[in-house]
Structure formats: C-alpha cells, structure tokens
Amino acid sequence: MTFEKTILCIGAGYVGGPTMAMIASQCPRCRVTVVDINPERIAAWNSDNLPIYEPGLDELVRATRGRNLFFSTDIEQGIRENEIIFVSVNTPTKSFGLGAGMAADLQYWEKTARQILEFSESSKIVIEKSTLPVKTALAMERILNCQENGIHFDVLSNPEFLAEGTAVRDLEHPDRILIGSRETDNGLKARQTLVDIYASWVPKERILTSNIWSSELSKLVSNAFLAQRISSINAISALCEKAEADVTEVSRAVGMDSRIGPKFLNASIGFGGSCFRKDILNLVYLCRNYGLDVVADYWESVVKINDYQQERFIRNMLGAMFNTLAGKRICLWGFAFKANTGDTRESPAIFIARRLLEEQAEIVVSDPKALGNARTDLTGVRGQIRYVEDPLQAAEGCHAIALLTEWDLYRNLDFPKIFDSMAKPAFIFDGRNILDHRRCFDIGFNVYPVGKPPLTHFLEER
Ligand SMILES: NC(=O)c1ccc[n+]([C@@H]2O[C@H](COP(=O)([O-])OP(=O)(O)OC[C@H]3O[C@@H](n4cnc5c(N)ncnc54)[C@H](O)[C@@H]3O)[C@@H](O)[C@H]2O)c1
C-alpha cells in the first residue's frame, strides 16, 4: 500500500504512543512510526502488554499496529524515511548547573535535533510535541538549518493537551488542537500540512493556529492555570479546617458561578504527574530570566501550596493518631498520581509514603495499576513496606487507611468488613474526599477528610 504521508514520532512515552496511535487510527492513509531509544519500551509497544495503562488504548493499538502504525528502535532509518517528524521526548526539570530544580533539561531535546540533522536526506517538517520553554523552536531551527546542503526544516509547535487517564478520549475529542508556526510562506505551508492531518477527525473550529511562541507558551500557561486552581482550593481547604467550614460546600458554591466553573476545584492531597510541577517551575524560571520576579513569585506559590498541602496531610495524620505513628501500620489506598493511570511520576503518594516511613510507620501500598511503579519509586527507601493489590487485604490489621488516589473502586468496598479487620481505633484519612464519610463514621471509623471537620468518636473533638 502506498501512503500519502509518512510520519515519525521520536519518543514512545505517555504522549508519543497514544497520540500516534490516534493519528494512525484516524488517518489510514498516513504511515506512522514511533521510535525510542529504550528497546524495552518499544518491545512492550509491540506486545500485548503495553508499557502504559490508559482506558481504550489496547483496542486502539490493536486496530492499527502492523497496518499503519509501527514501533521501532531504528531512529536513523525513521528519520531518513519520514517527511513529518514529531518530537515527543521527555523534558524533565534540570537537576544540575544553572537553573537546577527549575529550568527544563533540554539535553534529550537537543540530542534529537542533532540526530534529525545528521540522518535527514530530504527536507522535513519537525514538530515540537514535548512541552518546552518559549523560544525553544528558535534553538531547534538554528541547529537544524545550520548546514547549507539544500535540505530545509520547518519547525512547528503542536503542544499536547491530553490528560493521563482520559488520553484516548481527549485525543479523539480534543477541546482544541494548537499549531504554532513561523508566519513565513514555508512556515504557513508546513502549518497547513499539520492542520490537514488533524482535520481528518477534529472539527475545523477546534484547530487553532498561532505564532510559534504563543503556541509554546500556551501549553505552559494552560498547565499553570490548571494547577493554580487546585492550589487555590487546597489553600482554602486549610482555612476550612480551621473555620469549621466544608470545602466541598464552598467549592460547589464558588464553582456554580459560570465565570469560574466547577472543574479542578476538588480539595485533595495536591496535584502530581510528570507535568504540572515541572511546567510551572519552567514558567517561573522563564519569568525570572526576563526579570519578572513578581510574576515568578506568583506562579511559584502554586507549587509551594502543593508542597504545603502534602505536609499538612501528614501533620493531620500525626495529630489525629496521638502524635506518634511509630510502629503503626498504615495502608495507602492508591499510589498513582490520579485515577485510571498506572503513572506515579511526582505522585503525592511518594512524598506521603516517605514521610510516613520517616515517622517509623509501616506501610502497605495498594493500587490496581501502579504497584510496579510504586516499587520502583520506593526502592532503597528505608522502612517496612508491603505491596498488596487487594484493598481489603491491604487494610487488614492496619491502624489507618490513607486514601491517596481517587480510584472508583474505593468508593463501594465492604467497609464494615474492613473496619472489623483493622486495629482500633481505626482511622480513615480521605485525601481525595471521595468516600461516604458519614457512613464510614457510623460504622466506627474516625474519619478525616480534607478541608472539612473530622468525624470522630473521640469525645473532646465532637
Ligand atoms: N504525560 C503527559 O500527560 C503529558 C501531556 C502533555 C504533554 N506532555 C509532554 O510531552 C513530553 C513527553 O512526555 P511523556 O510523558 O510522553 O514522557 P515519557 O518519559 O513517557 O516519554 C518520553 C520518551 O522519549 C524517549 N526518548 C528520550 N530521548 C530520546 C531520544 N534522543 N531518542 C528517542 N527517544 C528518546 C524516552 O526513552 C521515553 O520513552 C514532555 O515534554 C511532557 O512534558 C506530557
């Protein structure tokens, strides 16, 4: 079969894999190849056991793999053979040198640019899919177009807005697709090529085009705004706990204002995931670089509140459990950073697990999809840790349950049975406010939600 377009994606991660599977599914006349330096990842993409869990992803990959979707480790050949190249490699926070702990580490990104230059035998469109600091495309263009050999590269920015846990749905019905380009003849032509690919399934009015710097910046700003809403309601949850207000009632009242809206207003142990923290710190670093310290401080406070919220959760546990956790067994329900994913990157559960172990508690980690990653995250951490997938078995003999991920399965468990199996007094710390707190209290638990008065059987607190 001859294909109309040939597409390569460098980076077979949480973004590259699902995004390319969706393009392959919606554009059968495109041949899509995904390459990665990690051979185990590629082998997993070619197996029945995909490297990431996403609802609907298995079906999507099964329908396209081998037809017009291919996974390979041959990066050189991929670059040579494809005319459109997405770059979706990781861009973690820099851990060394200038900007350590804040700026984006662009080494993987730059390595990819140099590889594209080295192996290209014809002109190409190169698309930034990774989240990058504003003006990265300029560096990409300078590296790619530094040789006078008749090969020309157009660089586009096409940030990805999918959310893990709903990636397939988000890719199929995106709120918007954003494509930034240079506003030159070549830039606009390249932009149109990418618009045409998305227009196969995305309504035209949802495909936004912009100048390339606006596009790069929009992704950072979008994540900063989402995280800022979480930190805003979490800051208010601390006040609710002092003022005997209920944060759920407050967020409902606030969110019904159509100017504000109800989404991302659930108080919790805070945000996690590979993106929010790194992208905000990246934004903060950019602002400081441009001398905008007041703006930088504003956004940095979003991250500070998130750290504060996690520490507050631990302090609330300590305070409720008579100021000592040493020797107590605590079950963690959920380790993934959110429901419906096995991803634990930057999960608040990592911090909470470490802090509980520092307090010399024993922990039992439970999660339906993330136990493998949890083991890796806690490798080398001192203390007693067990991993038990079944939440009932995990809670057996424990002094407390800390609910850390909003998996639906935790809502309707046999709570009387769980209560009977636990040490008394038994505690539930609902870090996601998803349980029926009154019911748990009536069964006998002492219940500590986030941002609401606790429900306890201790006389002095009632
Ligand atoms: N995960 C998300 O929900 C999400 C959403 C939107 C945007 N993003 C952004 O997308 C980018 C990728 O994120 P991710 O979650 O997919 O990361 P990831 O770590 O899951 O995947 C990145 C992949 O790139 C590969 N890689 C690194 N250098 C390479 C090279 N030189 N050649 C070939 N492969 C290479 C790695 O082996 C890895 O498999 C990041 O910039 C991230 O900020 C992520």
State the 10-residue block means of pLDDT for the chain, 462 residues long.
93 98 97 98 98 96 98 98 96 91 90 94 96 88 86 96 97 98 96 98 98 95 98 98 97 98 97 96 95 98 98 98 98 97 97 98 98 97 97 98 98 98 98 98 98 91 52
User: Does ligand 1 come within 6 angstroms of the Cβ of 131?
Assistant: yes
User: Does ligand 1 come within 6 angstroms of the Cβ of 13?
Assistant: yes
The number of the ligand 1 atom at minimal distance from the alpha carbon of 115 is 31
User: Does ligand 1 come within 6 angstroms of the Cβ of 298?
Assistant: no
User: Does ligand 1 come within 6 angstroms of the Cβ of 234?
Assistant: no
pLDDT, one tens digit per residue, over 352-407 is: 999 999 999 999 999 999 999 999 999 999 999 999 999 999 999 999 999 999 99
Distance CA(61)–CA(51), nearest Å, equals 12
Helix (H, G, I), strand (E, B) or coil at 33: strand
Q: How far is the CA of 57 from the centre of ligand 1 (A)?
A: 17
The number of the ligand 1 atom at minimal distance from the alpha carbon of 132 is 41
Cα 309 to Cα 57, 85, 302, 348, distances in angstroms: 33, 41, 11, 10
User: Does ligand 1 come within 6 angstroms of the Cβ of 16?
Assistant: yes
Q: What is the pLDDT of residue 134?
A: 86
DSSP string of 110-127, one letter each residue: HHHHHHHHHH--S-EEEE
Helix (H, G, I), strand (E, B) or coil at 154: strand
Q: How far is the CA of 142 from the centre of ligand 1 (A)?
A: 22
Domain 213-462: which topology?
Rossmann fold (3.40.50)
Q: Could you tell me which CATH class the domain 5-202 is placed in?
A: alpha beta
Q: Is the peptide bond before 348 cis (omega within 30 degrees of 0)?
A: no
Q: What is the pLDDT of residue 145?
A: 87
User: Does ligand 1 come within 6 angstroms of the Cβ of 130?
Assistant: yes
The number of the ligand 1 atom at minimal distance from the alpha carbon of 14 is 16
pTM: 0.94
User: Does ligand 1 come within 6 angstroms of the Cβ of 451?
Assistant: no
Distance CA(61)–CA(8), nearest Å, equals 16
Q: What is the pLDDT of residue 461?
A: 55
Catalytic residue among 27, 30, 240, 275: 275
Distance CA(16)–CA(88), nearest Å, equals 6
Task: Check if 275 is active-site.
Answer: yes
CA proximity to 162, closest of 88, 268, 212: 88
Mutate to test the pocket of ligand 1, among 114, 157, 274, 346 (most ligand atoms within 8 A of CB): 274
Distance CA(427)–CA(448), nearest Å, equals 8
Name which residue sits closest to atom 4 of ligand 1, judged by CA.
Answer: 15
Q: What residue ranges of the chain are covered by domains with CATH 3.40.50.720? A: 5-202, 213-462
The number of the ligand 1 atom at minimal distance from the alpha carbon of 17 is 16
Query: What letter would DSSP give residue 181?
Result: E
Q: How far is the CA of 92 from the centre of ligand 1 (A)?
A: 9
